[in-house]
Each structure stands twice: as structure tokens, then as C-alpha cells.
Amino acid sequence: MKIKSFHIQCVAVPLTTPIKTASGTVGVSPLVLLTVKTDDGLEGSSIVFTYTPSMLRPVADIIGKLESMVAGAPLDPSSIAQQLQSRFKLLGTHGMLGMAIAGVDMALWDAYARFHDEPLHRLLRGKPKKIPAYGCVGLDGAASGAQQAAAAVAMGMRGVKVKVGYPGVEEDLAVIRAVREVVGTERALMVDYNQCLEPAEAGRRLEALSGERLEWIEEPVFAHDFRALASLACRTAHPLQAGENWWSAHEFAAAGALGATRRFMADVMKCGGVTGWLEVDAIASAMGLPLSSHLWPEVSAQLMFASGACGTEGSWLEYVDWWNPINETPLQLQDGFAVASELPGAGIVLNKRAVQMYQA
């Protein structure tokens, strides 16, 4: 069976509740939808999130350029990933090109799992395990934060992550404590600075947060400043979390070697798709670091069920429903834990009517 063609569509899906972060407000999901078709009629799908609508067409165009490089090749996701990484070694596979390659990789793995009539986690020799999910609270102040946390608790989430990075640490603390009042001590509470602090200020704020019993503190400084992260990791009682903005397994290995963080978080679109995630998982397992997911709950849950670094203490699935309107098989939760899908594929079945409705 060989790859025949790509079908690419662009959509903009409004969020039910826009989420504000230190890096800006996300009110709509600009998505490139890819369907890979094989010569015997098999299909595999993926979703690429471009964060900002202005990048929709450029990313779609890049994915389109990759079609000629893989058309006619056997349906072998790992080999094609290696081929594309080698092809662009001089240019580098970060940014939009990395997102495009990951989108192709995810669609190929979806098709490959469908070919074998298996859910992706079983194809990868995984099995269901306890993967707790957490919900997110935006940078909207204490009152709104408490309301959003209450909604997450009502959904049964095992944890809540609150966005911080207000003008002063006093505001950070006020929001954290308001959310803690809602989630109590039986649920985990994480905080995320979205890279907004300079190292010196990060040191001061992390010290002020030392008594808040946090599951982790995420990206207090620039995600690629591994030395600053390592310095902060030695000075805080809470584990630091990072990885959602790292573009390859090499970056995870480099950060881990420097002690930049005690937790890894992988974004399947940024770290190289399914193939890249498997490489990151091997590194996390070797280093004894728990691995959590960023976005992509359907695909991420499949990978976490097959992961050696997930299912242990400190490993969490980030749950968002942003793309549910266009996915016929969104991830299900039970008592705040991810439910393993038994449908063939990676968990993405595009709703054609919704895709038409949200075309961009």
C-alpha cells in the first residue's frame, strides 16, 4: 500500500470560553486538517493548530509542498519521518515546517493504525492505565479563575492548571489561593507562567509560591533557556515543568542533561508527531522523568497509554475541548481519567458537516 495524495482544509473553530494567557488570548482555533489517502482507498487524518489565523495558509501551503515528497512511498510512518527529517536537516525542522511534518506524521500513523484495524495505543503495544486529566484556567483574575476551576471540578478533573504571570506576585498568589479554595487538597493544582518572566523575577516569584503545595510550576522563563531553568529548579521546592515548546527529542535530551526540569511535557505537533513523541518517551523513561501531554487529548491519550514514562506519579493529560466540534470521536473521561478508545486509528474522525461550517 502506497501514499497517493493529500487533502488539506483550513478551519477556524471558536472556543466556547476564550482562554487568556501571558502570551495573549486564544479565542479561536485556526486548524489545518490533513487527510492522507492511499492507493487502495485507506485514509488517515490529523489536525494542526497554528495558534494564530495568519499562519493558517502558510502552514497549509507547507503541508501541500510535502505531498510530492511522500507520494508513492509505502505507508511506513517511521521511515517517512526519517526521510523528511533528513531532507530538511540543513534548514531545520522547527516552527511551521516542524508543525507541517508532524501533521503528516500523525496522519500517516492514523492511517497505519486503521490499516491494522487497531487503536493506535494497541498498535504501539500499549494498554489502558490510569492517566489523570486536568483542566485549564485562564489569566482572568481571582473571581473568574475560581469560576473556571469550579467548571473543571464539575467535569470531574483530577487537577486544574491556572495561568499566572500578573503584574505582581501578590496577584499570582491571590488567584492561586482562590482556585485552591475551589479544588481543595484532593485535586492537584498546577501553575503556568507561559515563559513571561525574566530569570531574576522568576526566582523571586517561585520563592513566594513555595508554600502553595503545587503539582508543578510551568515555564516560568523562556523555554529554551535551559541554564536558567536548571538554576531555578535547584532553588524551588516545586517541580518545574517544561517541554511543550521544544521541537525535537534532541531538545528534551539536552534539557534533561542540564537538569532544566523535573517533569517533561510533550506537544505531539511540536515534538515531531507520533514518531517524535515515541523518541521523547524513550528519553523520559531513561531519565526517570514523568511525561505529560500538551493539547491533542485524543492522540496524546493514545500515546500515553503506550508510554513507558506515563501512568506514574507526576504524569498528566491536559484536557481541552477546543476541537471537539470537528471531531466525531472526542476523548472521553471517566472519574477524571482518560478512557482508552477502541476505535481503529489515532482518535481523529473529522465531522464533514462541521468542517464545512467552520471553513476559513
| The predicted structure's pLDDT at residue 206 | 97
Q: Does domain 122-338 have CATH number 3.20.20.120?
A: yes
- Rounded distance between C-alpha atoms, residue 146 and residue 158, angstroms: 16
Residue 183 gets the label, from left (phi > 0), alpha (psi -120 to 50) or beta, of: alpha
Reading the block at residue 53, the C-alpha cell is 489565523
Q: Is 163 a catalytic residue?
A: yes
Predicted confidence (pLDDT) per residue in 299-338, tens digit: 999 999 999 988 888 999 999 999 999 999 999 999 999 9
| The predicted structure's pLDDT at residue 203 | 97
pLDDT band at 272 (very low <50, low <70, confident <90, very high): very high
Question: Across-strand partners of 74?
Answer: 2
Among 163, 224, 238, 352, which one carries the catalytic annotation?
163
pLDDT band at 77 (very low <50, low <70, confident <90, very high): very high
| The predicted structure's pLDDT at residue 16 | 87
> Could you tell me which of 29, 27, 36 has the C-alpha nearest to residue 10?
29
CA angle (315, 127, 99) in 5-degree steps? 60
Other Cβ atoms within 10 Å of 214 Cβ, number: 23
**Amino acid of residue 63:** I
Is the CB of residue 264 less than 8 Å from the CB of residue 290? yes
Task: Name the pTM for this structure.
Answer: 0.95
| The predicted structure's pLDDT at residue 116 | 97
pLDDT band at 101 (very low <50, low <70, confident <90, very high): very high
Among 121, 161, 238, 294, which one carries the catalytic annotation?
294
Q: CA of 277: how far to CAs of 82, 86, 220, 272, 283, in Å?
A: 14, 18, 23, 7, 10
pLDDT band at 347 (very low <50, low <70, confident <90, very high): very high
Predicted confidence (pLDDT) per residue in 228-239, tens digit: 999 999 999 899
Predicted confidence (pLDDT) per residue in 170-191, tens digit: 999 999 999 999 999 999 999 9
Q: Is 224 a catalytic residue?
A: no
DSSP 225: -
Lowest mean pLDDT among 154-168, 282-296, 308-322: 308-322
User: What does the buried/exposed string (b/e) look like for 292-330 if buried means 16 or more CB atoms within 10 Å of the residue's CB?
Assistant: bbbbbbbbbbbbbbbbebbbeebbbbbbbebbbbbbeeb
| Domain extent listing, the chain | 3-118+350-357, 122-338
pLDDT band at 166 (very low <50, low <70, confident <90, very high): very high
Per DSSP (E only), the strands in 50-132 are none
| The predicted structure's pLDDT at residue 65 | 97
**SS3 call for 313:** coil
Reading the block at residue 312, the C-alpha cell is 506514574
Topology at the third CATH level for domain 3-118+350-357: Enolase-like; domain 1 (3.30.390)
| The predicted structure's pLDDT at residue 178 | 98
CA-based torsion, 212, 213, 214, 217: positive or negative = positive
Mean pLDDT of the chain: 96
**Amino acid of residue 193:** Y
